[in-house]
Structure formats: structure tokens, C-alpha cells
Amino acid sequence: MTAILYGLAAFLVANILLGLLRVARGPDLADRMVAAQLFGTMGVAILLLLAEAAATPGLTDAAVLFAVLGALALLAFVDRVWDRLAAGRQSEREP
């Protein structure tokens, strides 16, 4: 069973490497943020698989921490983009 879990973790690492291509080619900030969210989600999944395979509960705690940090990063990104959009709309209205 542990071999299957390690194999799934390796598959997820390969998906992260493919996600790096999206970060490099992403024409938009939103595309890059989606790829960063992919990294966070895959990182949490990898940690959970390794925690189960190695019977290490500390990795589960680290996975929860990464999930919270990923959500906070997304909120910070949305706040930053929202401010830019609001500033752009306000400058369009002024003559």
C-alpha cells in the first residue's frame, strides 16, 4: 500500500512540474495565480499522501498549514487586483 501512495505522490510532483510551464507561459496574472494555487493544492495532497505512507502525523499538520497559507495568498492576490481595478475605473471617470 505504501508503494501506491509514494507512486501517487510522484505523479503529483510531475503535475507540479507541468504547472511550472503554465507559470512561465501565463499571459495574465490570473493565470499565474491559478498555477500557484495548483502548487499549493498539490503540495497539500503530497504531504497528506506522505503522512499516510510514513505514518507521520506531523506532516498532516504541515499540510493544514499550507492549505491555510494558500487561502491567504489567494485573498491577498484578489485584494491587490481589486484595488488595481478600482483605481483604473476611477481614473477613467475623471476628465
- Report d(CA 17, CA 58) in Å as an integer: 25
- Report d(CA 86, CA 62) in Å as an integer: 36
Length of the chain: 95
50 or 19, which is more confident? 50
Average pLDDT over residues 25-30: 74
Cell triple for residue 44? 497539500
User: Model confidence at 90, in pLDDT bands (50, 70, 90)?
Assistant: low
User: Model confidence at 77, in pLDDT bands (50, 70, 90)?
Assistant: confident
Q: What is the pLDDT of residue 52?
A: 92
**pLDDT surpassing 80 at residue 87:** no
